Structure formats: structure tokens, C-alpha cells
Amino acid sequence: MGEIQALRGTRDILPEEVGYWQRVEAVAQEILARAAYREIRTPIFEQTALFERGIGEATDVVGKEMYTFLDRGDRSITLRPEGTAGVVRSLIEHGLQTQGGVQRLWYTGPMFRYERPQAGRQRQFHQLGVEVLGSADPRADAEVIAIATDILQSLGLKNLRLDLNSVGNLEDRQNYRQALVNYLTPYKDELDPDSQERLSRNPLRILDSKDKRTQEIAQNAPSILDYLGSYSRHHFEQVQQLLSDLGIKYQLNPRLVRGLDYYTHTAFEIQSDDLGAQATVCGGGRYDGLVAQLGGPDTPAIGWAIGLERLILLLQQLQELPLSKLDFYVVSRGDRAETQALALAQKLRHAGFSVELDLSGSGFKKQFARADRSGAVACLILGDEEAEGQTVKLKWMASKEQQAIAQADLLAMADELRRQLDSLKTSGTPNQVNA
């Protein structure tokens, strides 16, 4: 039997990369908590009808990309292709909207779409998303965009670009749809095959085509901004003013329509100029009709999702988020020394230090080589002599300086050690620890 490998479109996130993910999650959680967003966790699979009704049967996601199957009860089940529909279903099912006020929610986890795998885009991918439900106020639009910007900038991203558009309400889009079809129909034979199919069922998606000739044709298409009604136009003007007041730069992009049918009014994408073809890091918009469409009360809402694979790829390319350094690597040899080393490692961990204990049982030379590779700031060494005297050798890895310290004293000077370690993690020369 051949070697079993991960399925095409899926990938293992190995320990060397996980540090980036943990850093992104920690930064996002801190910023979202400060803005009073609460985490929600919904199932990975749902009834297929949720996505057909919520996302839209005419979309590529529902028509081509969903992982759908019958379970043992002959129910049609789909692995979630995005997070918003599940959050809205949960809101309705558990009556969260009856709690009053605005629901500020966030989620993270895997999503699934049957797409052609490429860098930053897998068939199993991960998103971090927010949903604000219960507010039609333009300030909600500005707030979610500001929070996404805060998260990305706090992670060290600089070359970001915010594209902004309004897709209006249902009536606005119907008027625009007809104008767009009238414009595109004479060019039908020149459009790419997907766009020819979309012309009759979802013409707005043609504006998002990556085909070069289709893009050239769409360049002179009517602008949806010319078809906005008075309410839609006023709402969009307020959003723009609020973003300007916050110092958030943006550019209008009338061809930005997003890929899901539930969007209304504000649509936006945050892109990175450092990511190449897959430039969009965050995308979202308002979806005022979705809750009612799925059986709930009329509830205005807005949200966004960040593609974590693309974000991690970008951070790696920019060499952002260096992994945290290990505090101590513990080397020991001899029965008594190894027993004491285990106890010392545990006590240091309880004191808040990161500690790796060498469990190989090899000689000192091989253990020291592993200590060098570990990236630890300092090495603790216990042999027969140290075990007999209840001492430990503290070796600073950068300078190779070392000193003998009583094990009890090492634990008693935790605060001083922590200051030394923090200083050295930002590069420096150790001072002699006063034992």
C-alpha cells in the first residue's frame, strides 16, 4: 500500500508555522475584545439549504464549489464555504436578536470550497470574521472597516489599500443589472465562457472576472454608483465621510461587487500590494436582507472575513512576526541530575518561563548541539557535580558566558531572570546574575 498523503487542496500547518497563526489570533482577539465583540462557534457542516438560500444558487460558490453530500439519514449536508450564513442561522435559532441592542460577534475556523489550489488559496482554508447584527447606522460600516485595518496594521502590514463600493439595495441592483446586461450583450461572444454564462443569471459577477478581455470590456461598463437611490447614496456618502474622519484612506471601485448574493449597500476589500495576484486579504460588506431571507426578523447587518492563509503567507514573505524565543533549554546527564532537571524545568514553567527539557539521554555534546539549534536564550546544565551540590550552570547562548547558581537561588530570582531574558530577546549582552 502506498504512502497516504494529505488530500489535494489541504495542507498541514507544521509547528514552524503555527507561531504565525497563534500571533495573528492573539492580536485579533485582543483588538476585538477591546471593541466588545464576542466569539461565536458554529458547526463546520450545515444543511445545504442554508447556503443555497443564504449565499444564492446563482453564485459560483453554490453552483460549483461546495462540498455537499448525503448523510446516513439522506439529508443534504454541506461543509461550510463561508462563515456568515452559519452565524445568522445561529442568531435566528437561539433568538440572540431578542437580547436587545446590537450583536457584535466574531468567529474563526476552517471553511471548504472546491477550487483550484494555489498559493494562499486551498480547498480547506481558514477565516477570521466579524458580524455586526442589528444596526443600519453607517458608523457600523466604518467601525468594522476600522477594526480590520487595526488588526492588519498591528500585525505589521503597511502596503494596504482599501477598495470601497456600494451595491445599493435590491431595487438599485435590479435597475443596474438591466443597464449592465444591455451594455454587455453586444460583447457576449468576446466574454470568457464563465462570463457568458453569468450574463443571464448573475451579470454583476462579470465585473469581477480575471479574464483580460472581459476586464477590458467591463472597463467602460456603466457604474453602479450612478444607479443608487437617494437612501443608498446618502448612506454611502456618510460611510465615506466617517472613514475620512478616522483617517482611513480608501479608493472608490465601482466594479467591486463581491461574490455572494446577500450583499447590500457597502462592499469593501482590503488588499496588499505585497501579495501579488492574490491581493485581497480582507473582504466584506453589508447584508441587510439576509436574516429575513433565512427566516428571521428584518435585521440590518455588516461583516467581513480575513483569509488567514493569505495573511500568513504575506507575513512570512515580509518576515514579520519572528517566532518567540525559548527561555531555557535544560541539559542533564546522570540519574540524579536528570531527575533534578525534570523538577527544575517544571518549577521554571510554573514561574512563567518557557523551558525545553532534553529527553534524549544522549551525551552532553549532542545535547549542547540541540540547545544551540533550539533558539533558547539560555541553557541550564546539570551533571553529577551539579546534582551533588544542588546547583545548576546557567549559560547565556549568545555570549557563551556561564556561571554556577544554587537551584533554589535560581528560582528565587525569577524577576531578575525575566528582565535578563526579555532584554536578550531583543538582542543584548547579559549581565552577571547576582546569586
Tell me the per-residue pLDDT of 162-213, one tens digit each, with 9 for 90 and over: 999 999 998 998 898 889 899 999 988 889 988 888 888 778 878 878 888 9
The torsion defined by the Cα of 119, 121, 123 and 127, in degrees rounded to 10, comes to 140
Other beta carbons within 10 Å of 147: 21
Report how far apart, in Å, the C-alpha atoms of 183 and of each of 118, 173, 190, 227 are: 33, 15, 13, 14
- Please give the pLDDT value at position 434: 52
Rounded mean pLDDT, 386-399 = 94
Report how far apart, in Å, the C-alpha atoms of 7 and of each of 61, 122, 123, 426 are: 20, 11, 9, 40
Q: How confident is the model at residue 243 (pLDDT cuts 50, 70, 90)?
A: very high
Work out the percent of the chain whose per-residue pLDDT is above 70: 94
- Please give the pLDDT value at position 327: 93
For the cut 90, the answer to whether the pLDDT of residue 5 exceeds it is: yes
- Please give the pLDDT value at position 350: 94
Rounded mean pLDDT, 397-426 = 87
Cβ burial 248-286 (10 Å sphere, 16+ → b, else e): bebeebbbbbbbbbbbbbbbbbbbbebbeebbbbbbbbb
Structurally, at CATH architecture level, domain 328-425 sits in 3-Layer(aba) Sandwich (3.40)
Which grid cell sits at 70? 448525503
What is the CA angle 193-199-201, rounded to 5? Answer: 110
The pair phi, psi for residue 396, each rounded to 5°, is -80, 120
- Please give the pLDDT value at position 260: 63
- Please give the pLDDT value at position 91: 96
pLDDT tens figures, 64-82: 899 999 999 999 999 999 9
Q: How confident is the model at residue 61 (pLDDT cuts 50, 70, 90)?
A: confident
The CA distance from 40 to 115, in Å, is 27
In CATH, which of 3.30.70.580, 3.30.930.10, 3.40.50.2300, 2.40.50.140 is domain 15-169+229-317? 3.30.930.10
Q: Which of 90-99, 191-200, 321-330, 404-413 has the lowest mean pLDDT?
A: 321-330
Q: Helix (H, G, I), strand (E, B), or coil: what is residue 103? A: strand
Please say whether the beta carbons of 140 and 302 come within 8 A.
yes
pLDDT tens figures, 264-314: 999 999 998 876 655 889 999 999 999 999 999 999 999 999 999 999 988
Other beta carbons within 10 Å of 403: 14
Which grid cell sits at 60? 459560483
Q: Helix (H, G, I), strand (E, B), or coil: what is residue 238? A: helix
Q: Which of 19-23, 36-40, 96-100, 406-410 has the lowest mean pLDDT?
A: 96-100
Q: What is the DSSP letter of 384?
A: H
The CA distance from 105 to 407, in Å, is 48
Paired sense of beta strands 378-382 and 391-396, if any: antiparallel
Other beta carbons within 10 Å of 299: 22
The pLDDT mean for the chain works out to 90
- Please give the pLDDT value at position 324: 66
Please say whether the beta carbons of 308 and 321 come within 8 A.
no
Domain ranges of the chain: 15-169+229-317, 328-425
- Please give the pLDDT value at position 415: 86
For the cut 60, the answer to whether the pLDDT of residue 36 exceeds it is: yes
For the cut 60, the answer to whether the pLDDT of residue 429 exceeds it is: no
